[in-house]
Chains A and B, each alone.
Chain A
Amino acid sequence: MLEVIEVSKMFGRNVVLKNVTFSLKNGILGIYGANGSGKTTLLKIISGFEKPSCGRVFFNGREITNKAPQEIVKLGVAMAFQIPRVFWNLTVHENVLLAARETDYTAEICKELNLEDVLFKKAKEISQGKVKLLQLAMCFALKPKLALLDEPFASLDAENVEVVLEFLKKRGSEISMIITAHRTKILKTIASQMLEIRGGKIVGSS
């Protein structure tokens, strides 16, 4: 499904990723590492929001290196950002509807992610935890083949972590995912494969 071949990324003289190579056939891949280890940059390169300095990325046999993010989304790769990128002046319902394109599916996703109580509130009026859930809802509303989730459990309370875990377990049977986290405990409960990234290099897998 996804092949990342010798991807490197430099910001000026700062090397963020060094020859990262891995592949994912299906299931949930967990990537863990300390802050600044290159997890977010890696996901941004796969989703097209960053261009790699060198290396190639293939999705379902098609090269997606240097493609625009909106084209990559149409191929079935969706991204949920660590710092949520949502439409702040639109309601939660409108945010999800834009991604889902159908009202019934919007309602279904919002119900599963516990967003029903804030459905008609503007995104800027809801709590940070709910915004995080909204970001996830928008990602899955796209019905992706591969979801890239950057720190989906960060800034969530225990109750919402449970909601997200349940949701990911349920969707994990039909959608492949790459989930990043700097804490491995939660990640291990859902991931079928794990990669450790340190200083921009993959240093371990299990």
Chain B
Amino acid sequence: MLVSIAIRILVLVLLILPVFLDCYTKLLAASALTLAIFTVSWLYLEKDLGWASLGHSIPFGVSAYLFAINPLLLFFSPLTTFLLFPLSIFGKHTFPFASFVFSVFLWYLAHHIVFEGKGGEEGFRAPSINLDLIYLISVTILILSCLLIWKISNSYFGLKVKAVRDDEIAAKAIGINSLPFKVFGFAISCSLASIAGILHAAIFGHVSPGVFSPYFSLFPFVAATIGQGKIWSSILGSYTVVFLSWFLSPYVPEFHYAIYAVALILASYTQSYARSDRSV
């Protein structure tokens, strides 16, 4: 209980502190913040629906690209649900690999996206927004995302979503049609990941094929593993990965891969709802 309160206070401090710090730290914090929203979106899909995506960079990256190509296209970003959801046809155990392979395919494809002579390997310039403003927007969206997920998760509707997660046959046996609940869950998760992608593009003013790279595909999985599948701890996990990667990369190049490796080992010891089905 005390640890939980301490983590929440620490997260709030991490959200408020950068407002008073220099531009570079604020940029770093803003990046961590958008990736925290990204992690929260992933966590909802994994925890409440039982689908562990290793290709969550699909809604994240596609929305960032849409925003960079034309800001008005951001209204199409919730449709990225229909890029990730069809992969659920492979089933819960194959979905992580299917989504990862698809994100790698998009990573490759993104190198060849050229629009009005721009794009390709260099990517697109995204509309840049004042850092202070975008930081405040990001903080607000993170808090609203957490509230939304908490509200859905604790509602009767959310209970039905969790029922579908645990056993679709049992859900059918009590009259629950699983498809609308799955689509709803994917839509919520992909929409939040899309918002995170748009914020990411707006903060850096640039989008490159790298948004589909394994760094982003695996990021929420790594952050959630560090945070042991709890929302507040996973936000802290996002900050940990971003800050450690940025500060240690000059000394140990590509340091984030070391963190990812540790997270992969840790993951086998942490409880995952996607793998928790039990039969008697």
Contacts and interface: CB of A to CB of B under 8 A. Distances in A.
On whether the two chains bind one another, the answer is yes
Interface of A: 47, 49, 68-70, 73-74, 78-79, 81, 83-90, 94, 97-99, 124, 128, 131, 138-139, 141-142
A90 B166 contact: yes
Given A90-B162, A97-B159, A98-B159, A85 B173 contact: yes
Contacts of B175: 70, 73-74, 142
Interface of B: 159-160, 162-163, 165-167, 169-177, 273, 276-280
A86 B168 CA distance: 10
Given A88-B278, A89-B273, A89-B276, A79 B166 contact: no
Given A88-B278, A89-B276, A90-B162, A142 B174 contact: yes
Among B169, B172, B278, the most chain A Cβ lie within 10 Å of the Cβ of B172
Contact of A87 (B163, B177, B279, B280): B163
Contacts of A99: 174
Contact of A88 (B160, B167, B177): B167
Contact of A83 (B159, B165, B279): B279
Q: Which 9 A-B pairs have the closest CB atoms?
A: A85-B170, A73-B175, A87-B166, A69-B172, A99-B174, A70-B172, A87-B163, A88-B278, A70-B175
Given A47-B173, A87-B166, A90-B162, 14 more contacts: A69-B172, A69-B173, A73-B172, A73-B173, A73-B175, A79-B173, A83-B280, A85-B169, A86-B166, A89-B166, A89-B276, A98-B174, A138-B174, A142-B174
Nearest to A138: B174
A74 B173 CA distance: 10
B159, B174, B278, B280 interface centre (most CB from chain A within 10 Å): B174
Contacts of B279: 83
B19 to A, nearest CB: 39
Contacts of A87: 162-163, 166-167, 170-171
B42 to A, nearest CB: 18
A36 B279 CA distance: 20
A78 B159 contact: no
Nearest to A89: B166
Nearest to A47: B173
Per DSSP, chain B at the interface is: helix
B173 A81 contact: yes
Contacts of B280: 83-84, 128, 131
A199 B260 CA distance: 56
Nearest to B169: A85
Nearest to A139: B173
B163 A90 contact: yes
A123 B160 CA distance: 16
A94 B159 contact: yes
Contacts of B167: 85-88
A88 B166 contact: yes
23 contacts: A49-B173, A68-B172, A73-B174, A73-B175, A74-B175, A86-B170, A87-B167, A87-B170, A87-B171, A88-B167, A89-B165, A89-B166, A89-B273, A90-B162, A94-B159, A97-B159, A98-B163, A99-B174, A131-B280, A138-B173, A138-B174, A141-B174, A142-B174
B176 to A, nearest CB: 6
Given A83-B279, A84-B280, A128-B280, A90 B177 contact: no
Nearest to A73: B175
Nearest to B167: A85
A141 B277 CA distance: 23
Nearest to B170: A85
Given A128-B280, A131-B280, A89 B162 contact: yes
Nearest to B162: A90
Contacts of A74: 175
Given A87-B166, A88-B167, A98-B174, A124 B159 contact: no
Contacts of A79: 173
A83 B166 CA distance: 15
A115 B175 CA distance: 23
Nearest to B164: A87
B170 to A, nearest CB: 4
Most buried by A among B167, B176, B276: B167
